[in-house]
A and B are shown apart, each in its own frame.
Chain A
Amino acid sequence: MNFMKRAFLGITRKKGKSLILLAVIFILGNLISGAIAIQQATGNVETTIKERLGTAATVDMDYKAWESMSEEELETLEMEELGVDLIKQIGELPYVKYYDYSMTTWMGSESIEPYQEELEEDVMYGDEDNIPFSLKGINYAPVIDFEEGKGELADGRVFTEEEIKNGTSVAIISQKLAEQNNLEVGDTFTLLSAVYDYSEETGEETVLDSRDIVLEVIGLFDPQSGKEETESKEEDSDMFLMEDIDYQNTVYVPNAIISAEEQYYWEVYAEDDPEIAEMLEEESMEYYTPIYYLNNPEDIEPFEEEVAPLLPELYTVISASDQYDDISGPMESMSTLSKYVLLVAVIATVLITGLVVLLFLRDRKRELGIYLSLGEKRGKVVGQILIEVIVVAFVGITLSLFTGNLLAGQVSDTMMKADDTQEESYEGVIYYEGIETNLTAEDVIDSYEVSLNSSYVLGFYGIGLLTILISTIIPLIYIVRLNPKKILM
C-alpha cells in the first residue's frame, strides 16, 4: 500500500470527486487545446506560405515611403544609386545562398525566328517592332534560374567565370528556340541591337542606329516551372503560355554584353542630346536590381534587419514574405485572439483547478493527517495527491485533445469565413523577378489547417500538465502545513 497505490485507490474510491475534477479539466482543457491548435495552425500557415514564396529578396526603392514624402522633401532629395559594391557586400552576408545582379534588354534578329506556339484567336505574340528576344544578363555563372528550377540545362554548359568577367559573346538559349532555328551547341546566331527614337507627336518609333551582335550557343535550356503551370492550370493556360513563350525566347548572356549595349544606346542618344552627353560624363547609366536567394525562409527577417542600415536613403529590402505580411490580417487576428484565449484559459485553469483540488484536500484533511501520524513523509503525501491529480488531468487532457481540436477547426472555419469577405487590392503591386507577388488571402486561408500533429499533441500535453502542476502547488502548501495533532486529537 505505497503512496502510488493509495493514489490510485483515492481516484477509484472517490469516483464522484474524480469525475468533477475530470469535468473541470476537460472543459478548461478544451479551451487550452483549441487555442494551441489555432496557434499551431496559424504558425504552420506562415511557415508553409513563406516556404512556398521562397527565399528570394531584392533591394529597391521604397515606393511607399517615397509616395508619403512631401513636395519639399522630394525637392531636396538626392537619390543615390545602388552601387555594385554594395550589391556585392550584401551578397557576402552569411544568409545569402547565391545572388545575381543584372540588366535585361530586348533585341530583334534577322537571322533567327522567335519561338511561337499556337495561341487561341486574338492572342498574338511579339510586337510590331519585332524585338521578341529578351536578353538576360548574368553575373552568377551557374545561372540562378537553373539553380532555382525555373529552367534546366538540357545540353551544353553554363557560363565560366572568365566568360562572365570578359563579357565573351556566348549565350544559352532554349531548346525549342534552337530547334526552330536548327541551332546546336557551338553554332552562332546574330541579334540586332537597335536604338529607337520615339516621337510623341506621331507616336512612331524610328531606328536611330543599330548593330549586330554575334553570339555562340554554349548551352540549351528547357523551361521547368512554366511547363508545370501550363499543364495544371487550364483556365489561365493562355497567360501561362505567353509566359512560357517569353521564357523560350530568353537568351542568357554575360551581363557585360548587355552593359556594353546599354552604353552603346546612351552614346547614340548622347550624339543628339547634349544633356544626355553631360549625364553620361557624370554618372554610370547602369541600373541594377539585385536578386538574393537566402539559405532558408527564416533568414529573411535577419537578412532584412542586417541589410537595412547598409542601404542608401529611400531603399528597402523587398521579399516575397512582405506580401504575406500584407495579406495575413485574418490569420494574425486569429493568432492574436488564440494567444489571449490561451492565456485566459491557463489562468482560469490554474485558479479553478487549484480551488477544486484545495476544496477536495480540505475534505480529506483527516486522511492526510492519518498518513502523517503514521510517519509518512510529507513528500510522499504530496506525491500521492500529485499522482491523483495528474492521472485525472491526463485523462481529461487526452479527451480534450481531440474535442478541442475539433472545436478549434469549427471556430476557425467560422472566423475565416467572416474575414473572407474582405476585398483584395493589387494596386501598387510591383513585379520582381523571382519574387511571387500573386499570393492571395485565399491562398493563405487554404493553407490553414487545424491538424492533430505531434507538435500540437506534445505542446498541449506540455502546457496542460504544467498548468495542472502549477494549479496543484497552492493546495500542496496546505498539506505541508498540516499538523496531525490538530486534525486527529
Chain B
Amino acid sequence: MILEAKDLNYYYQDGEQRRYILKDTSISFEKGKFYTILGQSGSGKTTLLSLLSALDSPHSGEVLFNEENIKKIGYEKYRRNNVGIIFQSYNLIPTFTAIENVLVPMSITENEIPDDTKTVAYNLLDYIGIVKNKADRLVNQLSGGEQQRVAIARALATNVELILADEPTGNLDEEMEQEIIDIFKKLMSMGNVSLW
C-alpha cells in the first residue's frame, strides 16, 4: 500500500456536541492505481483528501505513507516530497507565469530533480498541453482548463509517487473536463510517472 488511512476521526465541535465529518474511517490505496471517491456533497470527500494530503490533521487515527505515519514524516516534509495536490480552484499564484508556477515546487522539494529545472518545467507543460508561448504568460491570462493543466504540471513537477486531486474538473466545462480526465488516465497508464 502506498497510502493507508486507519480509523480516522474528524469532527467539528458545536457547543457540547461533536459533528463528525469522518468517523472511524479506514481506507487504503495501492501504488499505480487511479482512484475516484464519490459521495454526496458534505459527505467528507474534501476533508478526507485534506487529511490524506496532510493539509490538516485528524482528531484521531493515522495516515500511513509507504507504511510510515505521515505525522512522523512531518506534514510539511510529506507535502514537499511525497504528494502532489491539485485543487478544484487551481490555486495558482496569479502574479507568476505558468512556468514560474511550475518552478516553485521544484525549488521547494528535496526530491532529486534535474538541474535544468526550467527545461523540465517547459517539457512538463508541453506534455500537459501548454505550449511555450502560453507557458510564459501570467496564469490569469490562461483559460480555466489551461490553468488546471498548469496545476497538474505543478503537481507532477516534484517527481512524487502520489497525486491527490480535489474535484479537479469541478470548475471546468464538459469538454475541458474530459481533456483533464484523459490527462490523468494517460499519466496512470505510465505507472510510476516520470516525465523528464
A77 to B77, CA, bound (A): 85
Which of A6, A9, A374, A489 sits near B80, CB closer than 8 Å?
A374
| B113: interface (CB < 8 Å) | no
A485 to B12, CA, bound (A): 15
A376 to B79, CA, bound (A): 8
Tell me how many residue pairs across A and B have CB atoms closer than 8 Å: 69
Stretch at the interface among A127-135, A268-276, A362-370, A455-463: A362-370
Q: Scan residues 110-125 of chain B and give those whose CB is less than 8 A from a CB of chain A.
A: 117
| B98: interface (CB < 8 Å) | no
- The tally of residues in B whose CB lies under 8 Å from a CB in A reads 32
Q: Scan residues 48-97 of chain B and give those whose CB is less than 8 A from a CB of chain A.
A: 49-50, 53, 55-56, 76-81, 85, 87, 89, 91-96
Contact A485 B92 (CB under 8 A): no
Which residue, B46, B85, B103, B117, has most C-beta atoms of chain A within 10 A? B85
Which of B77, B89, B100 sits near A1, CB closer than 8 Å?
B100
Which residues on the B side are within 8 Å of A383 (C-beta)?
A: none
Which residues on the B side are within 8 Å of A373 (C-beta)?
A: 53, 55, 79, 85, 91
Contact B80 A370 (CB under 8 A): no
| A483: interface (CB < 8 Å) | yes
* Least Cβ–Cβ distance between B96 and chain A, in angstroms: 7
Contact B95 A9 (CB under 8 A): yes
Which residue, A1, A366, A373, A376, has most C-beta atoms of chain B within 10 A? A1
A306 to B37, CA, bound (A): 86
| B27: interface (CB < 8 Å) | no
| A240: interface (CB < 8 Å) | no
Contact B55 A488 (CB under 8 A): yes
| B166: interface (CB < 8 Å) | yes
A483 to B75, CA, bound (A): 12
Find the A residue at minimum CB distance from B109.
A375
* Least Cβ–Cβ distance between B194 and chain A, in angstroms: 19
* Least Cβ–Cβ distance between B150 and chain A, in angstroms: 12
Contact A489 B78 (CB under 8 A): no
Assuming the contacts A1-B107, A2-B107, A370-B91, asked whether A489 and B166 have C-beta atoms less than 8 A apart, the reply is yes
* Least Cβ–Cβ distance between B7 and chain A, in angstroms: 20
Contact A375 B103 (CB under 8 A): no
Which of A5, A13, A370 sits near B92, CB closer than 8 Å?
A370
Contact B103 A1 (CB under 8 A): yes
A3 to B96, CA, bound (A): 13
Interface bits B141-162 vs A (CB < 8 Å: 1, else 0): 0000000000000100000000
| B105: interface (CB < 8 Å) | yes
| A371: interface (CB < 8 Å) | yes
A10 to B108, CA, bound (A): 17
| A14: interface (CB < 8 Å) | yes
Contact B91 A369 (CB under 8 A): yes
A6 to B100, CA, bound (A): 9
| B104: interface (CB < 8 Å) | yes
Interface bits A473-488 vs B (CB < 8 Å: 1, else 0): 0000000000111001
Contact B91 A13 (CB under 8 A): no
Assuming the contacts A1-B103, A1-B104, asked whether A488 and B79 have C-beta atoms less than 8 A apart, the reply is no
- Number of contact residues on A: which range applies? 20 to 34
| B135: interface (CB < 8 Å) | no
Which residues on the B side are within 8 Å of A370 (C-beta)?
A: 91-93, 104
Which of A13, A371, A378 sits near B104, CB closer than 8 Å?
A371
Assuming the contacts A375-B109, A483-B56, A489-B55, asked whether A13 and B87 have C-beta atoms less than 8 A apart, the reply is no
| B106: interface (CB < 8 Å) | yes
| A157: interface (CB < 8 Å) | no
Which of B50, B96, B106, B108 sits near A9, CB closer than 8 Å?
B96
| A377: interface (CB < 8 Å) | yes
A10 to B100, CA, bound (A): 12
Which residues on the B side are within 8 Å of A489 (C-beta)?
A: 46, 49-50, 55, 87, 166
A230 to B33, CA, bound (A): 103
Assuming the contacts A1-B100, A1-B104, A9-B96, asked whether A375 and B80 have C-beta atoms less than 8 A apart, the reply is yes
Contact B108 A375 (CB under 8 A): yes
Q: Scan residues 1-57 of chain A and give those whose CB is less than 8 A from a CB of chain B.
A: 1-3, 5-6, 9-10, 13-14
Which residue, A3, A6, A374, has most C-beta atoms of chain B within 10 A? A374
Contact B91 A376 (CB under 8 A): no
A369 to B79, CA, bound (A): 13
Assuming the contacts A375-B79, A376-B108, asked whether A484 and B55 have C-beta atoms less than 8 A apart, the reply is yes
A-B complex: 5 closest residue pairs judged by Cβ atoms: A375-B80, A375-B79, A1-B103, A13-B95, A485-B55
Besides the known contacts A371-B108, A373-B53, A489-B55, 18 further A-B residue pairs in the complex with CB atoms under 8 A apart = A1-B100, A1-B103, A1-B104, A1-B117, A367-B93, A370-B93, A372-B76, A375-B76, A375-B77, A375-B78, A375-B81, A375-B108, A375-B109, A377-B76, A483-B56, A484-B55, A488-B91, A489-B50
Q: Report 28 cross-chain contacts, Cβ distance below 8 Å, ordered by A residue.
A: A1-B103, A1-B106, A3-B107, A6-B104, A9-B96, A13-B96, A14-B95, A366-B91, A367-B94, A370-B92, A372-B76, A373-B53, A373-B55, A374-B105, A374-B154, A375-B77, A375-B80, A375-B81, A375-B105, A376-B108, A377-B76, A378-B76, A483-B56, A485-B55, A488-B55, A488-B87, A488-B89, A489-B46
